[in-house]
């Protein structure tokens, strides 16, 4: 897809005494085929920005640009096209999956919505292909979410996100709910899909290993403000902002403790 840009975006929830300024003057860009990491602690405005990038959340100030075109000016046709070309993978796969629908039904659903005129056989074939892309056995087609492991549920969420052949995908904490042993394999699959399908990712996470696995550039958010933006390699090696330094050293402390505990 064309480059996706947020320019000086501000978003407030609620009004008056209840107003929460979730995002303040944030600018970012996601290049075609690239991954931008959006990192920060819980409540810093990451998911809000993810939804804004998908055109799924209104905002007070600033612009969303898709290939240089202002999203606010999209007509119905462009809007429908943008929705077909974008998707999201959520942290909690069980929330993304309807418990009363089989895996096959859940993965076919985005096609029902975005490509309703596709013949049923073609829809089925595409859904099966998406399962294979996400490394799920199509033999699991008739299983319900509760009959799948956590890793398989997350793969189902990934299959749903790619079945429409999107170009831009928001990964909102895609591995946060998973065991450490499963995490690496899911990240591997996400990287492989990016290469095979030419996807651009907005990767939302507070896990630095996840950032390292996927992102080239990062934006560090603190209380809704982008406190640092740059190449991940440089930010990690040489954080300019005090909050980024804290974030990184907190991670290092946790890692060190973890290692000691296991030893």
Ligand X SMILES: Nc1ncnc2c1ncn2[C@@H]1O[C@H](COP(=O)(O)OP(=O)(O)O)[C@@H](O)[C@H]1O
Encoded tokens for 26: 């944030």
**Stretch 32-51 residues interacting with Mg ion (CB under 5 A):** 46-47
- For position 210 contacting Mg ion by CB under 5 A, the verdict is no
Of the pair 61, 78, the CB lying nearest ligand X is at: 61
Long-range contacts of 186-190 (CB under 8 A, 24+ apart): 186/151, 186/154, 186/155, 186/158, 187/213, 187/214, 189/134, 189/135, 189/155, 189/158, 190/158, 190/214
For ligand X, the binding residues (CB under 6 A) are: 13-14, 20, 22, 40, 42-48
Q: Following DSSP, what letter does each residue of 71-102 receive, concatenated?
A: GGG--HHHHHHHHHTEEEE-S-HHHHS-TTS-
Specify whether the CB–CB gap between 21 and 221 falls below 8 A: no
Q: Which does 254 bind (CB under 5 to 8 A by kind): Mg ion, ligand X, none?
A: none
Of the pair 19, 113, the CB lying nearest ligand X is at: 19
- For position 189 contacting Mg ion by CB under 5 A, the verdict is no
Specify whether the CB–CB gap between 189 and 183 falls below 8 A: no
Of the pair 2, 12, the CB lying nearest ligand X is at: 12
Q: Which does 11 bind (CB under 5 to 8 A by kind): ligand X, Mg ion, none?
A: none
Specify whether the CB–CB gap between 9 and 22 falls below 8 A: no
CB of 120 to ligand X, least distance (A): 37
CB of 44 to Mg ion, least distance (A): 8
CB of 21 to ligand X, least distance (A): 8
CB of 24 to ligand X, least distance (A): 11
Helix 103-114 / helix 120-133 crossing angle, nearest 10 deg: 120
CB of 223 to ligand X, least distance (A): 9
Q: Which does 110 bind (CB under 5 to 8 A by kind): ligand X, Mg ion, none?
A: none
Of the pair 170, 214, the CB lying nearest Mg ion is at: 170
Alpha-carbon gap, residue 169 to 185, rounded angstroms: 18
- Footprint of Mg ion (CB under 5 A): 46-47
């Amino acid at each position: 897809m064309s480059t996706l840009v947020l320019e000086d975006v501000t978003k407030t929830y609620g009004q008056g005494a209840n107003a929460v300024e979730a995002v303040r003057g944030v600018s970012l860009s996601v290049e075609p085929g690239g991954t931008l990491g959006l990192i920060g602690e819980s409540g810093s405005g990451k998911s809000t920005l993810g939804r804004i990038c998908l055109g799924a959340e209104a905002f007070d100030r600033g612009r969303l640009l898709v290939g240089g075109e202002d999203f606010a000016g999209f007509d119905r046709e462009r809007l429908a096209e943008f929705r077909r070309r974008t998707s999201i993978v959520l942290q909690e796969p069980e929330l993304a999956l309807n418990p009363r629908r089989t895996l096959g039904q859940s993965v076919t659903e985005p096609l029902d919505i975005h490509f309703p005129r596709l013949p049923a056989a073609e829809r089925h074939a595409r859904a099966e292909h998406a399962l294979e892309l996400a490394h799920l056995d199509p033999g699991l087609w008739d299983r319900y979410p509760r009959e799948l492991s956590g890793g398989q549920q997350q793969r189902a969420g990934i299959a749903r996100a790619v079945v429409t052949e999107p170009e831009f995908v928001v990964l909102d904490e895609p591995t946060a709910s998973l065991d450490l042993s499963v995490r690496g394999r899911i990240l591997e699959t996400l990287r492989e899909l990016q290469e095979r399908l030419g996807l651009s990712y907005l990767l939302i996470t507070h896990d630095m290993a996840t950032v390292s696995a996927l992102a080239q550039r990062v934006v560090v958010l603190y209380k809704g403000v982008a406190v640092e933006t740059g190449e991940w390699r440089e930010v990690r090696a040489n954080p300019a902002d005090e909050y980024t330094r804290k974030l990184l050293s907190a991670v290092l402390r946790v890692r060190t403790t973890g290692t000691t505990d296991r030893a």
